Amino acid sequence: MKVRYFSLLILFIFLSCSKEKRSDKAFGNMQDFVIHISNYAHELNSDFIIIPQNGIELAFNDQDPANGLNLAYLNAIDGVGVEELFYNGDYALDAERLSMLQQVKQSKKVLVSEYVNNDAFISDAYIQNEVKSFICFTRTSQNYDYIQIPDTIPNENNLNIMQLSQAQNYLYLIGPDETQFPSKEAYIASISSTNYDVILIDLFFNDEELSATDINQLKTKANGGSRLVISYINIGAAEKDRYYWKSGWRLLHPLLIKRKYEGYDREYWVRFWKSNWQEIIYGNDDSYMKKILNAGFDGAYLDNVEAYYFLYYKD
């Protein structure tokens, strides 16, 4: 029994170390992936904005703030986005991420999306972020999936926003409510009637790709000030509703479809370092990033950059 126990212990240690090594490699692969996406975009538009969401550890060497900031990664991005920093329903400060963001904010804009389960928390969510010089978007239970335009805008202004660093607020709207926006025209008109400094939306309205005319219409606030329009793009998970999804694709077929995305039935974490996935995202005229650039967006919001963690550590 002792021999068998010892053998199992050795196997456990080996598998744990192997998982850690794979995760470390995937971490570096994601840093490189973001940098390559940025380089590609800047070759076509030198002013293009890159904002990765979550995975704030990517801004540091070896996932450890004690090892210092990764300058190559930081030079490739213009800001960082995070979800649920101070609020996740109730007040729930993530002190570890806040500490990292305090370092990153010295050179990059920080966009925070808070989720509150009580309208009474909305004001405090904005205050908590403003004190830290972060710009905040707050959503409630009815708007958990970013489907509605809130009634109020924090720090509303008529300034011309030409750079991300100038932004004082933003709208996060990636899954529009079809009852509120029955058509693409209604969707564009509703956004155009707001005074948000930054508009973060999807490249598509339902299955229809937004045009350069649509995006240009959104670049002016209702009060006449200019603003930035940023496109959401999921670079760490494949979505079954996207144009690139092929008939017959399923878990491990092709092999880049690595594992199910818990809580999202139509998404799968991918082996994002594989060339067949990266070619979907950037580097050619049929790529997702090229579509975003062709539509005239000012930048891209890279979601699920923390895929390196969910592929190997999250059970």
Paired residues of 109 in beta bridges: 79
Tally of domains in the chain = 1
pLDDT at 15: 40
127 Cβ contact list (under 8 Å, min separation 6): none
Residue-range definition of the domain harbouring residue 204: 20-310
**Residue 298: inside a domain, yes or no?**
yes
**Residue 83: inside a domain, yes or no?**
yes
Whether pTM > 0.75 for this model: the answer is yes
Contact 267, 256 (CB under 8 A): no
pLDDT at 314: 53
pLDDT at 21: 61
pLDDT at 14: 39
**Residue 11: inside a domain, yes or no?**
no
Contact 227, 161 (CB under 8 A): yes
**Residue 240: inside a domain, yes or no?**
yes
pLDDT at 232: 98
Tokens representing 74 are: 């930081």
pLDDT at 176: 86
**Residue 6: inside a domain, yes or no?**
no
pLDDT at 231: 98
**Residue 208: inside a domain, yes or no?**
yes
pLDDT at 92: 97
**Residue 108: inside a domain, yes or no?**
yes
The predicted-structure confidence for 11-57, as pLDDT tens digits, reads as follows 344 344 455 666 789 999 999 999 999 999 999 999 999 999 999 99
* Residue ranges of the chain with per-residue pLDDT less than 70: 1-22, 313-315
pLDDT at 179: 87
**Residue 14: inside a domain, yes or no?**
no
